[in-house]
Structure 1
Amino acid sequence: MVYSSDDKIPVGISACLTGQAVRFNGSHKRSRFCTDVLSEYFNLRPMCPEVAIGMGTPREPIRLVSDTPADESVRAVGVDSPDIDVTDDLRSEAVKVSDLNQDLCGFIFMQKSPSCGLFGVKRYLKNGHPEGKASGIFASEFARLNPLLPIEEAGRLNDAALRENFMVRVFTYRDWQLFTQTTVTPARLIDFHSRYKYLIMAHSTVLYKDAGRLLSDLSGDINQIADEYFALLMTALAKP
């Protein structure tokens, strides 16, 4: 099936993954899977938080730094100039991107990036010694603001199971967006659940039962019940 640009699902993506030369050294990290395959279904919306906050290209690289090994808080500072601290700017950019792109149905981040990495970004102590892992500043703040949004790292999409899981969640998220564009009624919500109940069961029998109990009494505020149902749905699908 060929999708028109209007039909494609809006998904955010780190700009370097689309081939834009926005990395600190003026290069890119184009993901052919994203640009050549996912672009057939997704309207990829490139974003680079470091460029957006005014850092040039090329630029001094940044890294995640903590005061002590036990300190879980991290700052994004310059590798050669530790007085350069862009932590707050990156968090503010995440808020801005979240507010301006509420139609997004997913986000693909660049792995290992101190701004965009989701998992296992190298963390350092002030003396330069590597000490543990953390999440990139922009990515972690964006994920906190959008807890139900499907998000993934480009590198992890090479895993077939993770790739399928991400795409299922994106299509489900979009389906729910379209569903809620029309007034939610008990009958429509039950019909929606009938299309997803076995998918929920496949991911989590516990959440499947929770969804059934939630929908067994629709006499309350239907919009609140719908919101609770969607949270259960996306939580279940997040379990591979």
Structure 2
Amino acid sequence: MLTDLLEKMGFDLPQQEWEKPIIGVSACLTGHKVRYDGDHKHNAILVHQLGPLLRFRETCPEVAIGLPVPRPPIQVVQLDDRLRVRGVDQPQQDVTDALENVAATLQQPLSGFVLKARSPSCGYLSTPVHNPQGQQIGMASGAFARKLHELFPRIPLANEDDLEKPAFLQAFLLHVYCYHQWHHNDHQGQWLNHMQEQTEQLDEPLLSGMRQYLEKLGQAMH
């Protein structure tokens, strides 16, 4: 169980809501009908397995910039060396800067983010990229997710379909709790050394993933 893993690593399980780490969540994943087609994409793993251990701060970047529900679809388009988010049927409608601004105005502290895969705003390394003629030519992140990673490179990011893999789900939760503790700890060096010791009791692939993540946090201290 996820709670057993947290206790094994020495984390105190939250007893009160305010004690839980806060993560951002694409609002459609918790059942809000905010998608372009007027529907939602409720994710049971997110809500029922991570929900008891984390607080969710829900956002839909496309609604946040004033797009209606339902709404005409948008897509990521490569123009020369730039990625832009434009209307499929109305390519003159460019919402890239507005979506990036939503990420730039997020209120910290977030300790992670679960994003809607393949979304032109929220997809993390999973969103189809098209040429101006509409043909798919690759994959990238949506405008919101790309800016989010640029601004907060150490917070754990996941697409919702990543959570279906038990090892990824465990790693994501550990990284969220690590970031939360690291961000709020006045003695980061001591805490980091302690976590590195705790990590050695994990099995692969969690062991390698935690080593790499703790190294990333350690680099931020120099």
The TM-score bracket by the shorter chain reads 0.7 to 0.9
Report what 1:91 is aligned to.
100
Report what 1:175 is aligned to.
181
Q: How far apart in 2 are the matches of 1:116 and 1:35?
A: 18
Report what 2:7 is aligned to.
none
Report what 1:198 is aligned to.
197
1:155 aligns with 2:140: no
Report what 1:224 is aligned to.
none
Structure 1 pair 29–9 and aligned structure 2 pair: CA distance change class (3 A): same
Report what 2:28 is aligned to.
16
Task: Considering Cα pairs closer than 8 Å and 6+ residues apart, tell me whether 1 or 2 has the greater RCO.
Answer: 2
Q: How far apart in 2 are the matches of 1:78 and 1:161?
A: 37
SS in 2 for 1:6: helix
Q: Is the 8 A contact 2:14 2:20 kept in 1?
A: no
Report what 1:80 is aligned to.
89
Q: Is the 8 A contact 2:128 2:137 kept in 1?
A: yes
Q: How far apart in 2 are the matches of 1:93 and 1:29?
A: 21
Q: Which residue of the other structure, out of 100, 103, 110, is the alignment partner of 2:116?
A: 110
Pairing 1:24-35 to 2, within 5 Å after superposition? 24-35=36-47
Report what 1:219 is aligned to.
none
Q: How far apart in 1 are the matches of 2:146 and 2:17?
A: 29
Q: State the shift of 1:205 in Å.
A: 11
1:229 aligns with 2:222: no
TM-score by length of 2: 0.83
SS in 1 for 2:17: coil
Deviations 1:143-193 (A, max 9, x none): 11001111111110111111111111001111113313xxx4xxx733x23
**Please, which runs of 5 or more residues in structure 1 have no aligned partner?**
212-226, 233-240
Q: How far apart in 1 are the matches of 2:34 and 2:97?
A: 20
Q: State the shift of 1:104 in Å.
A: 0.9
Deviations 1:30-76 (A, max 9, x none): 10111112110101110000000000101111001113xxx442110
Q: State the shift of 1:128 in Å.
A: 1.3
Q: How far apart in 1 are the matches of 2:122 and 2:142?
A: 5
**Please, which runs of 5 or more residues in structure 2 have no aligned partner?**
1-12, 201-206
Q: Is the 8 A contact 1:2 1:40 kept in 2?
A: no
Q: Is the 8 A contact 2:196 2:211 kept in 1?
A: no
Report what 1:218 is aligned to.
none
1:65 aligns with 2:74: no
1:143 aligns with 2:154: no
Report what 2:58 is aligned to.
46
SS in 2 for 1:46: strand
| C-alpha RMSD of matched pairs (Å) | 2.6
Q: How far apart in 1 are the matches of 2:162 and 2:212?
A: 25
Identity across the alignment (%): 33
Number of corresponding residues:
203
Give 1:131's aligned amino acid: I
SS in 2 for 1:74: strand
Give 1:81's aligned amino acid: Q
